[in-house]
Amino acid sequence: MKIVGAAACAAGIAHTYIAKAKLVTAAENAGHEIHIETQGTIGIRDNLTQKDIEDADIVVIVADIKISGMDRFKGKKTVEVPTDLVIKSPKNFIKKLESIIK
Cα 79 to Cα 96: distance, rounded to the nearest angstrom: 10
Residue 77 belongs to domain spanning = 2-101
Number of structural domains in the chain: 1
In what order do the strands lie in the sheet containing 33-40?
43-45, 33-40, 2-8, 58-63, 78-81
Is the confidence at residue 10, as pLDDT, over 90? no
- Catalytic positions are 9
Confidence of residue 102 (pLDDT cuts 50, 70, 90): confident
Domain CATH code at residue 30: 3.40.50.2300
pTM of the model: 0.95
Confidence at 42, pLDDT banded by 50, 70, 90? confident
Neighbouring residues of 12: CB distance < 8 A, sequence distance ≥ 6 = 39, 40, 41, 42
